[in-house]
């Protein structure tokens, strides 16, 4: 099966669209708050620079040379006696696991987009009630929006790489950037800006514990869409004569920039109104609407734009979470795209219903394991275990297994020998060690 090709700008936007997601605008800001600001941001930036960027190059390389679904690409590139590596390609299924809760959150965002029109909550109690009520009591409403999100996402994927994924990214990504940078300019003139800036960039080392470090490393993989085959699958449609190194740089840079801008904007609004930073996942759903209600009509417009940007970010990432498995089903089982989307879509949709119910009062017990809601388990497992594992496999495969001459010549040309050597060092030693360390730490085998 011949895979369609992106245009150059289409590929950049699609890869950036995958990377820039709820991770940037929803998760990164609240994690920064939870783990104390600057120190967490610094660990995150270091991981992105020295590990994330290198692994992104490696993941793009596998896809662009393999030109198949994730399983097929690993199989294609593994030497004859190591074809078992094809099983690493099953990391593509991580995308569906992420989609189970990702789709639910996109549903919340859709709900908020409509709720804004009936006015912003004017007190934290009110905002909490709206959010808690939605999550704990309104299974029906959540189900409705989870369904809407699923229909939109699967329809785009069904339209394919060119007609669906490339098209919406070319529209939504510029729109998203316009909104966020517009908001940054607005925030720049508010009182809270300098406080937000120092909160995010002046490290308070006392706040840095091993949990914060592990979460920062995990999040740097999640935010760059690494370790689950999304970037790999897109790269299988990489247009010829496109520099992997350059594209990976642009995508990494955009993702990081947008996370920082989102954080700055949100914390500026919060600090301008004297609200505290540590709010957890409710940050954009509870605190943000309340502080914006103090801005009058402007606040309503800002809230609307913000949730619009958030929904764009979510949708462009969601399609990249579904596409790997769809590509896999098409390639391996010779199914039509329609059937493949139907299978992949139903799988995540149904588990997503479980995730959504796991937060509700009525069904929470049924959908929890060991007292932990399914939603949290799915998120934790992907973020902290499966993505780092995927990253580790990619680093080992590209660093040690791949046939060298064939592969390295591509990158040596692009980077020049000096940078190539640095990249190779990162892929062979820094990335695997850091990821291994992190996973052992998580399993409680190694404590920092
Ligand atoms: N990178 C996306 C985000 O930041 C999430 C994602 C992870 C998308 C893995 C695709 C693959 O929200
Ligand atoms: Na991201």
Tokens representing residue 77 in the block: 């590139």
In a domain, 393, yes or no: no
Instruction: Judge residue 372's burial from the number of C-beta atoms within 10 Å of its C-beta, 0-12 exposed, 13-18 middle, 19 or more buried.
Output: exposed
Report which DSSP code applies to 366: T
- Tell me the average pLDDT across 297-308: 94
Which residue owns the Cα nearest ligand 1 atom 10? 225
At 216, the pLDDT band (50, 70, 90 cuts) reads confident
- Tell me the average pLDDT across 319-323: 97
Q: What does R_g of the chain's alpha carbons equal in angstroms?
A: 21
Distance, CA of 20 to CA of 26 (rounded, Å): 11
pLDDT at 438 over 80: yes
Domain range for 97: 9-53+87-218+241-381
Helix (H) or strand (E) holding 369: strand 368-369
- Tell me the average pLDDT across 308-326: 97
Angle (CA) 14 19 20, round 5°: 95
Tokens representing residue 385 in the block: 């275990």
What local confidence, expressed as pLDDT, does residue 2 receive? Answer: 63
Helix (H) or strand (E) holding 153: helix 139-158
Query: How many independent structural domains does the chain possess?
Result: 1
At 282, the pLDDT band (50, 70, 90 cuts) reads confident
- Tell me the average pLDDT across 108-113: 96
Distance 374 CA to ligand 2 centre (A): 23
Q: Which residues pair with 373 in a beta bridge?
A: 368
pLDDT in tens, 230-248: 999 999 999 988 999 999 9
What local confidence, expressed as pLDDT, does residue 295 receive? Answer: 87
What local confidence, expressed as pLDDT, does residue 61 receive? Answer: 96
pLDDT in tens, 324-354: 999 999 999 999 999 999 999 999 999 999 9
Q: Where are the beta strands (DSSP E) in 235-331?
A: none
pLDDT at 428 over 60: yes
Mean pLDDT taken over the chain: 92
Ligand that lies nearest to the alpha carbon of residue 259, given by its number in the listed order:
2
In a domain, 283, yes or no: yes
Query: What's the ipTM?
Result: 0.98
pLDDT at 406 over 80: no
pLDDT at 175 over 90: yes
In a domain, 105, yes or no: yes
Distance, CA of 101 to CA of 375 (rounded, Å): 6
Distance, CA of 76 to CA of 176 (rounded, Å): 37
Dihedral sign of CA atoms 356, 360, 362, 368 in order: positive
- Tell me the average pLDDT across 166-176: 96
Query: Within the chain, what is the greatest distance between any pair of CA atoms?
Result: 67
pLDDT > 90 fraction of the chain, expressed in percent and rounded = 73
pLDDT at 286 over 80: yes
Contact yes or no for 245/414 (Cβ under 8 A)? yes
In a domain, 310, yes or no: yes
DSSP string, 27-90: IHHHHHHHTTSHHHHHHHHHHIIIIIHHHHHHHHHHHHHH-S-HHHHHHHHS-GGGGGGGGGGG
Which phi-psi region, left, alpha or beta, contains residue 37 (left: φ > 0; alpha: ψ -120 to 50)? left
pLDDT in tens, 124-167: 888 888 999 998 888 999 999 999 999 999 999 999 999 999 99
Report which DSSP code applies to 381: I
Which residue owns the Cα nearest ligand 1 atom 6? 225
- Tell me the average pLDDT across 214-227: 90
pLDDT at 448 over 80: no
pLDDT in tens, 253-271: 999 999 999 999 999 999 9
In a domain, 27, yes or no: yes
Mutate to test the pocket of ligand 1, among 252, 317, 324 (most ligand atoms within 8 A of CB): 317
In a domain, 423, yes or no: no
What local confidence, expressed as pLDDT, does residue 262 receive? Answer: 96
Which residue owns the Cα nearest ligand 1 atom 7? 225
Q: If you average pLDDT over each of 131-135, 318-322, 438-442, which comes out highest?
A: 318-322
pLDDT at 376 over 60: yes
Atom of ligand 1 nearest to the CA of 255: 4
Mutate to test the pocket of ligand 1, among 31, 172, 225 (most ligand atoms within 8 A of CB): 225
Within 6 A (CB) of ligand 1 lie 18-19, 21-24, 95, 98, 222-223, 225, 228, 230, 317, 320-321
What local confidence, expressed as pLDDT, does residue 57 receive? Answer: 97
What local confidence, expressed as pLDDT, does residue 445 receive? Answer: 67
Distances (CA, A) of 88 to 73, 221, 230, 390: 10, 17, 13, 8
pLDDT > 70 fraction of the chain, expressed in percent and rounded = 98
Atom of ligand 1 nearest to the CA of 222: 7
Q: How far is CA 72 from the centre of its chain?
A: 24
Tokens representing residue 202 in the block: 């002046």
Distance 262 CA to ligand 2 centre (A): 11
Residue with tokens 């959010």: 131
In a domain, 327, yes or no: yes
Q: Which residue has the higher pLDDT, 95 or 371?
A: 95
What local confidence, expressed as pLDDT, does residue 440 receive? Answer: 83
Find the distance separating the first CA and the last CA of the chain, reported in whole Å. Answer: 48
Distance 81 CA to ligand 1 centre (A): 33
Q: Which residues pair with 368 in a beta bridge?
A: 373
In a domain, 392, yes or no: no
Distance 122 CA to ligand 1 centre (A): 32
Helix (H) or strand (E) holding 368: strand 368-369
Atom of ligand 1 nearest to the CA of 26: 12
How many CB atoms lie under 10 A from the CB of residue 179? 19
Distance, CA of 25 to CA of 415 (rounded, Å): 32
What local confidence, expressed as pLDDT, does residue 195 receive? Answer: 95
- Tell me the average pLDDT across 316-322: 98
Q: Where are the beta strands (DSSP E) in 70-181?
A: none
pLDDT in tens, 22-69: 999 999 999 998 888 999 999 999 999 999 999 999 999 999 999 999
Mutate to test the pocket of ligand 1, among 320, 344, 386 (most ligand atoms within 8 A of CB): 320
What local confidence, expressed as pLDDT, does residue 123 receive? Answer: 87
Distance, CA of 434 to CA of 174 (rounded, Å): 34
Distance 298 CA to ligand 1 centre (A): 30
Atom of ligand 1 nearest to the CA of 24: 4
Contact yes or no for 9/247 (Cβ under 8 A)? no
Mutate to test the pocket of ligand 1, among 223, 254, 388 (most ligand atoms within 8 A of CB): 223
């Amino acid at each position: 099966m011949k895979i369609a090709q992106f245009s150059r700008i289409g590929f950049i936007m699609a890869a950036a669209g995958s990377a820039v997601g709820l991770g940037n605008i929803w998760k990164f800001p609240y994690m920064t708050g939870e783990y104390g600001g600057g120190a967490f941001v610094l660990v995150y930036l270091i991981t992105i620079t020295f590990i994330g960027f290198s692994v992104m190059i490696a993941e793009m390389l596998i896809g662009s040379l393999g030109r198949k679904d994730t399983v097929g690409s690993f199989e294609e590139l593994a030497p004859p006696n190591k074809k078992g590596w094809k099983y690493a390609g099953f990391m593509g299924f991580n995308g569906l696991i992420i989609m189970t809760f990702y789709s639910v959150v996109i549903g919340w965002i859709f709900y908020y987009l409509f709720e804004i029109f009936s006015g912003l909550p004017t007190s934290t109690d009110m905002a909490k009630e709206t959010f808690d009520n939605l999550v704990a009591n309104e299974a029906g409403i959540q189900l409705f929006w989870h369904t809407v999100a699923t229909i939109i996402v699967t329809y785009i994927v069904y339209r394919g790489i060119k007609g669906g994924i490339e098209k919406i990214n070319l529209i939504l990504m510029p729109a998203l950037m316009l909104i966020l940078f517009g908001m940054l300019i607005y925030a720049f003139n508010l009182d809270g800006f300098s406080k937000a800036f120092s909160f995010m960039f002046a490290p308070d080392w006392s706040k840095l514990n091993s949990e914060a470090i592990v979460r920062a490393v995990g999040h740097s993989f999640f935010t760059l869409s690494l370790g689950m085959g999304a970037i790999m699958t897109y790269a299988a449609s990489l247009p010829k004569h496109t520099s992997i190194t350059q594209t990976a740089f642009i995508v990494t840079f955009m993702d990081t920039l947008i996370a920082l801008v989102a954080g700055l904007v949100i914390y500026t609004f919060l600090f301008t109104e004297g609200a505290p930073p540590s709010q957890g996942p409710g940050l954009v759903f509870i605190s943000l609407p309340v502080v914006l209600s103090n801005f009058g009509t402007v606040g309503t417009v800002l809230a609307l734009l913000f949730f619009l940007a958030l929904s764009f970010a979510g949708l462009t990432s969601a399609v990249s979470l579904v596409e790997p498995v769809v590509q896999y089903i098409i390639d391996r089982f010779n199914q039509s795209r329609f059937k493949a989307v139907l299978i992949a879509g139903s799988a995540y949709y149904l588990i997503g219903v479980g995730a959504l119910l796991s937060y509700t009062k009525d069904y929470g017990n049924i959908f929890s394991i060991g007292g932990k809601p399914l939603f949290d388990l799915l998120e934790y497992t992907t973020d902290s275990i499966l993505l780092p594992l995927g990253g580790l496999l990619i680093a080992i495969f590209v660093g040690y297994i791949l046939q060298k001459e064939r592969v390295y010549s591509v990158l040596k040309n692009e980077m020049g020998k000096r940078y190539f050597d640095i990249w190779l060092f990162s892929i062979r030693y820094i990335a695997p060690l850091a990821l291994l360390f992190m996973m052992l730490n998580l399993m409680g085998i190694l404590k920092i």
